[in-house]
DNA sequence: TTAATATTTGAACAATTATTGAAATATTAA
DNA sequence: TTAATATTTCAATAATTGTTCAAATATTAA
């Protein structure tokens, strides 16, 4: 978390979700739970490098948590932050066309 | 509303709020209700032209409604869309530091 | 009609953000 | 140790977004 002012962090969270790939990452992890961080490159067209950059942005917004297990990195959501800025996100954004 | 797919519109809404000026416009209108669209140029440093461009983005995301009364334009929120993508927004984003 | 005020538009430029490919780093297995 | 796989970092470039200023449009008042 870079900044502690509510509105600054809020804008950062919106920025993090203001990209189709990152929005999809968040909704997929929300649906499936913790995922291997590079599983996504099969699901969407995105290189591993691009994904890595996207993770950094989600992480800087404090929306995701990454955990390293051996060679692999796993991504999960920081529900505390998601609920702080986007309460009801799961209900509203999951399983929508 | 340009696109009818839920996630595309959602990303558009996040993009619209992913800028400090636009976030402030939305929270101010939420707090005060309908406002003269150029009242903001006193509140923040932003030219009328920049504000006009910002309104177009908020309008394209279907977040605001503009109403013309004589020479003046008034801005209000489209609560239906705000509630569809960001339920609880008012409660969480109002009167925060 | 002309003048005054309000807002929008468009084009140019600046700034930020996204993507790429190659090289670097880390971990594990052989 | 070397090789293989996973992920990150870096620098370059591409693409998008934000701001500015000037011109255009709209509305009302004189």
Indicate the residue of B8, B15, B87 with minimum beta-carbon distance to A88: B87
Query: Which chain A residue has the Cα nearest residue B11?
Result: A18
C-alpha–C-alpha distance, residues A87 and A79, integer Å: 10
Which positions of strand D lie within 7 Å of protein CB atoms? 5-10, 17-23, 26-28
A-chain CB neighbours of B23 within 8 Å are: 7, 10-11, 14
- The pLDDT tens digits for A29-82 are 999 999 999 888 777 889 999 999 999 999 999 999 999 999 999 999 999 999
CATH class of B6-86: mainly alpha
Q: What are the boundaries of each domain within chain B?
A: 6-86
Per-residue pLDDT of chain B (97 residues; tens, 9 = 90+): 434 699 999 999 999 999 999 999 999 999 999 999 998 877 788 999 999 999 999 999 999 999 999 999 999 999 999 999 999 999 999 988 7
CATH class of A6-85: mainly alpha
Is the pTM of the predicted complex or chain greater than 0.85?
yes
pLDDT value at residue A1: 44
CA-to-CA dists, residue A22 to A10, A27, B12, angstroms: 16, 9, 13
Print burial letters for A46-55: b (CB count within 10 Å at least 16), e (below 16). Answer: beeeebeebb
Residue A89 has pLDDT above 60, yes or no: yes
Q: Are B68 and B81 in contact (CB under 8 A)?
A: no
C-alpha–C-alpha distance, residues A83 and B31, integer Å: 21
Question: B17 in contact with A at a CB cutoff of 8 Å?
Answer: yes
pLDDT value at residue B4: 63
CA-to-CA dists, residue A80 to A61, A84, B4, B41, angstroms: 12, 6, 30, 35
C-alpha–C-alpha distance, residues A92 and A73, integer Å: 28
Specify which residues A77 forms β-bridges with. Answer: A64
Angle at B21 between CA A14 and CA B88, to 5 degrees: 45
Give how far B40 is from chain A: nearest CA, Å: 17
Give protein residues whose Cβ lies within 7 A of nucleic acid chain D: A 36-38, 48-49, 51-53, 55-56, 66, 71-73; B 15, 18-19, 21, 46-47, 49-50, 53-54, 57, 68-71
C-alpha–C-alpha distance, residues A34 and A49, integer Å: 20
């Amino acid at each position: 978390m870079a900044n502690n002012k509510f509105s600054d962090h809020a804008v950062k969270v919106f920025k993090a979700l203001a990209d189709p790939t990152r929005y999809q990452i968040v909704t997929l992890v929300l649906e499936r739970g913790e995922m291997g961080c590079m599983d996504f490159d099969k699901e969407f067209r995105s290189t591993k490098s691009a994904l890595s950059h996207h993770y950094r942005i989600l992480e800087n917004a404090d929306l995701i948590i990454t955990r390293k297990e051996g060679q692999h990195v796993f991504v999960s959501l920081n529900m505390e932050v998601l609920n702080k800025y986007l309460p009801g996100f799961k209900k509203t954004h999951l399983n929508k066309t």
